[in-house]
Amino acid sequence: MLTEALVVSAVLFVVGTFGVLVRRNAIIMFLCIELQLNAANLSFVALSRYLGMDGQIFVFFVMTVAAAEAAVGLAIIISIFRHYETVSVDNFNLLKW
Amino acid sequence: MTLPLGYFVLQQGHELQAAQGHAGEAFEPFLPGLVVLLPLLGFLLNGALALAASRRSAEAVRGGGELDFFQGGKRPLTHVLPTWIGPGVIGLAFVIVLVNFFRMLGADLHEPVVRTYWTWMATGSLQVDAALQLDQLSMVMMLVVTGVSFLIHIFSVGYMGDDQGYPRYFAYLNLFVFFMLTLVMGANFPVLFVGWEGVGFCSYILIGYWFSDREKADAGKKAFVVNRIGDFGFLVAMFLIFTIFGTLNFTEVFEAAPATLAYGGALVTAITLLLLLGATGKSAQIPLYVWLPDAMAGPTPVSALIHAATMVTAGVYMVARTSVLFALAPVGGLSVALIGAATALFAATIGLAQYDIKKVLAYSTISQLGYMFIGVGVGAYAAGIFHLMTHAFFKALLFLGSGAVIHAMHHALHHTHNHADPQDMRNMGGLKKYMPVTWIVMWVATLAIAGIWPFAGFFSKDEIIWYAGARAAGTYGGWFTLIWIMALAAAMITAVYMTRLMVMTFHGANRTGQEEARHLHEAPWVMTVPLMVLAVLSVFGGWVNVPHAISESFLGGFGLLPMTEWMHEWLHPVAGLATEIQAANAGDFSHHSPFGGGELLWALLSTAAALVVVLVSARVVGGFKILPAHQSREPSGFKKVLFKKYYVDEIYDGLVVQPLLKASRFAWKVIDAGVVDGIANGLGHTARAAGWFGSLFQTGSVNTYALFLAIGVLVILGVIAF
């Protein structure tokens, strides 16, 4: 069982990473990051069966952080959208030297 | 200045008087420290007044105006007090020196009396004391320095009376006397060197006294820089002496020298040649004389005091002081005499073609200093010091007299708003009618310097020439014959240029212009009295050192005139050892000249020749048609070469100054701006370029960052996995 769970987790993580790298829509990138986080969560839960309860507790922490992150991130995206009327990250490159 | 003043005066110091069981009274110095301190006190007081005056003047300038201290015919206190303080302290010092002099006359002194005040520096085996030395030589120098200084200070009251910087002038002049006394009274080389450098500094500030004139400030700078070359030689000589003797005190060095140093050895020759380099700088001899003519930019009393009577004789004093070393090094002594002879002749010829009255006197001074060098170089130390003294009298008189002339000319030209040069002799002529006192005293000095009996210069100059010829029979006799001939020739040229100066200035038709001539007037008494005193000294000053052969002949009134051979005997305790060494190794002075004939015959010949030359050149120059400067043409032919001073300044400029400038420019443009700045700027540019390259990765786009993040994670995982 463990192997299958880890394979699914890895696939999910790669999909999420790929999405972050290639997509330009901020909301999609945001979803892909969630995908990566939950891929990690899946690994934690699967491994906790063999390595003790620590992994499950970690998952709760990750979920909490992810929820907080989603709240702040979405707020930022909405704010950007109001300003630029777009959520394509290609347009947000002012924050550099 | 951190001298503990009271300590200096009150502390009697411990004496190193070596009373070796001589008969006669021991010499007890009277307040020798005060002699040095009084001028310093004058400097401090006058300096404070000068600062107070300059503060007022600066306030006026800040207010947008310019302060005239003499406005409304009233002198402020800052411009009254120096009249009393300046000459006063010098006069007091002179009195103390006189007391010491008479005490020394009455005493039987064979060894110098050294007063040690405090340890100046003690490091390792080097122990230098702040110590003053009193012996016959320093006593003569003290008398000349304080006496002539006193007269010149009084003259300055008249000459500089209208100058806005009056207190500053006296502060500088007092400071100069302080350093000059330190120089002649120092009991070891470092103390002498302090005085040596101090007078050089005072010379610098006084040449550039009117510093707002660029040319005058540059003249001061030139004097300072040229003197540095000589100081280098002096310093190295001092180091050599220390490494050999382990001490720098005069008494110890000279006592040990005959046993320590081999006669004619390389070491002692090196020391003397280096000392000679120092002396050529300070005493304006070839090759370092070029600063002295330019030094005439200073006020005329300064030229009289520093650049004729006292400071420039420091080199002669130094050679006489280190006479033992020069006696041990025959090549060193010969070099001194040769350089002196060359300078005497060379400078005299330049003096023939100058039009500026002070320039003629400047070259005359260089020439006369050359005579002193001949004197101390051939080993006739008493004769050299004797000429130093008489020269101080008549040359100070000549300079002060020219100062009176310039003063009168300046006023006359000023009143009529004429911009002609008040120092150019072509603009003068016929001044004897307006300035009879100056005219007479100047003639006295002229006859003295020309070497005409019975004036002072006759005895001193003739003695030097005589001693140069009297060594023709011994070692290096050929050279001494040459020196003798050069000195005789220079003496004749001296008579010519001085007569030319007198005739152009005081005789013939007046060339100042009619309106100007009405404003010409004799100098006030405060200026003429010092002139008269110096004139008396220029007549009788030579009578203190007359050989028996002459004083008992008709030239000395068959022994009836009060002439003595006093100075020769007086300086014997100082110069005796050197004379013995020289007599033992190089042969004694002979009693006839290189071409036969005794002292009396040659004395007669030279004074007769000088008299003829004076009379002839007076006729010849009187017959010239002289035009005022603005109407004259540039001299041509050899006269132009003389007028341009043999182009020595131009040659030095081409050989030394320009290459130095070019080297400096190279160091500036290529080494500093190129290499040093290149490295520093290159580092900066590299850092900037690296920064620019790094900034390329910061695109501001989230995707790029995510990509780098992913690549970074992959790399780390790769490293961990493999």
**Which of A21, A94, A97 minimises the CB distance to B706?**
A21
Contact list in A for residue B691 (CB cut-off 8 A) is: none
CB spacing of B702 vs A92 below 8 angstroms: yes
- The last residue of one of the domains, among B576, B600, B629, is B629
Query: At which residue do the structure tokens 């040649």 appear?
Result: B273
User: Would you state the structure tokens that stand for residue B480, as one six-digit string?
Assistant: 């001494």
Distance from CA of B63 to the nearest CA of A (A): 54
Contact list in A for residue B706 (CB cut-off 8 A) is: 20-21
Distance from CA of A31 to the nearest CA of B (A): 15
Mean pLDDT on B70-93: 91
d(CA B226, CA B232): 10
Is the Cβ of B706 closer than 8 Å to some Cβ of chain A? Answer: yes
Distance from CA of B712 to the nearest CA of A (A): 13
Is the Cβ of B696 closer than 8 Å to some Cβ of chain A? Answer: no
Residue A83 backbone zone (phi > 0: left; psi -120 to 50: alpha; other: beta): alpha
Q: Residue B131: pLDDT above 60?
A: yes
Q: Residue B2: pLDDT above 50?
A: no
A 38-77: CB under 8 A from B: none
Closest residue on chain B to A96 (Cα): B700
What is the band of B430 on the pLDDT scale with cuts at 50, 70, 90? confident
Distance from CA of B688 to the nearest CA of A (A): 14
Percentage of chain A beyond pLDDT 70 is 99
Is the Cβ of B701 closer than 8 Å to some Cβ of chain A? Answer: yes
In contact, B303 and B310? CB cutoff 8 Å:
no
CB spacing of B706 vs A94 below 8 angstroms: no
CB spacing of A29 vs B701 below 8 angstroms: no
Mean pLDDT on B606-635: 88
Among B378, B353, B385, B718, CA closest to B574: B385
Contact list in A for residue B700 (CB cut-off 8 A) is: 92-96
Pair (B391, B446) in one structural domain = yes
pLDDT value at position A61?
94
Closest residue on chain A to B708 (Cα): A21
CB spacing of B698 vs A90 below 8 angstroms: no
The larger pLDDT score, comparing residue B42 to residue B627, is at: B42
Q: Residue B21: pLDDT above 90?
A: no
Closest residue on chain B to A14 (Cα): B710
Straight-line distance from the first to the last Cα atom of chain A, in angstroms, rounded to the nearest whole number? 50
In contact, B156 and B169? CB cutoff 8 Å:
yes
**Listing from the earlier edge strand, what are the strands of the sheet with B126-134?**
B14-15, B113-123, B126-134
Distance from CA of B665 to the nearest CA of A (A): 43
Q: Residue B494: pLDDT above 90?
A: yes
User: Would you state the structure tokens that stand for residue B294, as one six-digit string?
Assistant: 């330019």
Pair (B600, B662) in one structural domain = no
Is the Cβ of B710 closer than 8 Å to some Cβ of chain A? Answer: yes
Contact list in B for residue A90 (CB cut-off 8 A) is: 701
Contact list in B for residue A80 (CB cut-off 8 A) is: none
**Which of A21, A24, A94 minimises the CB distance to B700?**
A94
d(CA B504, CA B566): 38
Contacts of B673 (CB under 8 A, 6+ apart): none
Mean pLDDT of chain A: 91
In contact, B224 and B241? CB cutoff 8 Å:
no
Pair (B616, B683) in one structural domain = no
**What are the C-alpha distances in Å from B17 to residues B22, B244, B254?**
12, 25, 16
Mean pLDDT on B313-323: 95
Contact list in B for residue A96 (CB cut-off 8 A) is: 695, 698-700
pTM: 0.82
Question: Is residue B299 in some structural domain?
Answer: no
Pair (B661, B605) in one structural domain = no
Among B192, B166, B168, CA closest to B180: B192
- The last residue of one of the domains, among B629, B661, B689, is B629
Amino acid letter, residue B472:
A
**Which of B698, B703, B707 minimises the CB distance to A96?**
B698
The larger pLDDT score, comparing residue B587 to residue B22, is at: B587
Pair (B656, B709) in one structural domain = yes
**Where in the sequence is the domain holding B662, given as residue range(s)?**
649-721
In contact, B363 and B354? CB cutoff 8 Å:
yes
What sign for the dihedral angle of Cα B503, B508, B511, B517? Answer: positive
Helix (H) or strand (E) holding A3: helix A2-22
Is the Cβ of B692 closer than 8 Å to some Cβ of chain A? Answer: no
Question: Is residue B421 in some structural domain?
Answer: yes
Amino acid letter, residue A84:
Y
Contacts of B618 (CB under 8 A, 6+ apart): B499, B502, B503, B507
Question: Is residue B141 in some structural domain?
Answer: no
Question: Is residue B187 in some structural domain?
Answer: no
Pair (B454, B339) in one structural domain = yes
Residue pLDDT, tens place only, B167-196: 999 999 999 999 999 999 999 999 999 999
B127, β-bridge pairs: B122
**Which of A89, A94, A97 minimises the CB distance to B703?**
A89
d(CA B440, CA B504): 15
d(CA B441, CA B207): 26
Collapse the DSSP code of B308 into the 3-class scheme (helix H, G, I; strand E, B; otherwise coil) and give the result: helix
pLDDT value at position B702?
83
What class does CATH assign to A2-90?
mainly alpha
Is the Cβ of B699 closer than 8 Å to some Cβ of chain A? Answer: yes
Contacts of B83 (CB under 8 A, 6+ apart): B157
**Which of B698, B699, B710 minimises the CB distance to A21?**
B710
pLDDT value at position B280?
95
Is the Cβ of B717 closer than 8 Å to some Cβ of chain A? Answer: no
CB spacing of A24 vs B700 below 8 angstroms: no
pLDDT value at position B11?
41
pLDDT value at position B24?
59
Q: Rounded to 10 degrees, what is the CA torsion of B552, B558, B562, B567?
A: -10
Is the Cβ of B105 closer than 8 Å to some Cβ of chain A? Answer: no
**Which of B699, B706, B707 minimises the CB distance to A96?**
B699
Query: At which residue do the structure tokens 């006026």 appear?
Result: B60
The DSSP secondary-structure symbol of B187 reads S
pLDDT value at position B597?
79
**What are the C-alpha distances in Å from B707 to residues A17, A25, A35?**
9, 16, 17
CB spacing of B702 vs A89 below 8 angstroms: yes
Is the Cβ of A17 closer than 8 Å to some Cβ of chain B? Answer: yes
CB spacing of B701 vs A93 below 8 angstroms: yes
Q: Residue A37: pLDDT above 60?
A: yes
pLDDT value at position A97?
65
CB atoms under 10 Å from CB of B266, counted, come to 11
- What ipTM score was computed for the predicted complex, to two decimals? 0.86
**What are the C-alpha distances in Å from B363 to residues B215, B262, B346, B660?**
19, 38, 9, 27
Q: Residue B1: pLDDT above 70?
A: no
Domains of chain A, by residue range, sit at 2-90
Question: Is residue B354 in some structural domain?
Answer: yes
Identify the residue among B703, B711, B713, B717 best suited for mutation to test binding to A, counting A beta carbons within 10 A and taking the highest: B703
Pair (B363, B436) in one structural domain = yes
CB spacing of B698 vs A89 below 8 angstroms: no
Mean pLDDT on B458-485: 91
Among B233, B239, B240, B334, CA closest to B288: B233
Question: Is residue B186 in some structural domain?
Answer: no
**What are the C-alpha distances in Å from B444 to residues B388, B395, B428, B537, B550?**
18, 11, 20, 10, 21
Q: Among A50-54, B2-6, B186-190, B468-472, whose mean pLDDT is lowest?
A: B2-6
Distance from CA of A4 to the nearest CA of B (A): 22
The larger pLDDT score, comparing residue B583 to residue B21, is at: B583
Mean pLDDT on B350-369: 94
**Which of B701, B706, B707 minimises the CB distance to A90?**
B701
Mean pLDDT on B73-86: 90
Residue pLDDT, tens place only, B593-611: 888 778 888 888 989 999 9
Distance from CA of B684 to the nearest CA of A (A): 19
Q: Among A56-65, B8-17, B390-399, B641-650, whose mean pLDDT is lowest?
A: B8-17
d(CA B449, CA B308): 13
Among B627, B645, B611, B34, CA closest to B360: B645
Residue pLDDT, tens place only, B110-130: 889 999 999 998 888 889 999
d(CA B400, CA B402): 5
**Which of A20, A29, A93 minimises the CB distance to B699?**
A93
Q: Residue B614: pLDDT above 90?
A: yes
Distance from CA of A11 to the nearest CA of B (A): 16
**Which of A17, A90, A94 minimises the CB distance to B710?**
A17
Residue pLDDT, tens place only, B499-554: 999 999 999 888 888 888 888 888 899 999 999 999 999 999 999 988 888 888 88
CB atoms under 10 Å from CB of B701, counted, come to 17
CB spacing of A95 vs B700 below 8 angstroms: yes
**SS3 letters across B496-560:** HHHHHHHHHHHCCCCCCCHHHHCCCCCCCHHHHHHHHHHHHHHHHHHHHCCCHHHHCCHHHCCCC
What is the band of B565 on the pLDDT scale with cuts at 50, 70, 90? confident
Mean pLDDT of chain B: 90
Contacts of A72 (CB under 8 A, 6+ apart): none
Q: Among B38-42, B407-411, B560-564, whose mean pLDDT is lowest?
A: B560-564
In contact, B304 and B362? CB cutoff 8 Å:
no
Q: In chain B, how many domains are there?
A: 2
Pair (B673, B616) in one structural domain = no
In contact, B254 and B580? CB cutoff 8 Å:
no
Amino acid letter, residue B11:
Q
Is the Cβ of B636 closer than 8 Å to some Cβ of chain A? Answer: no
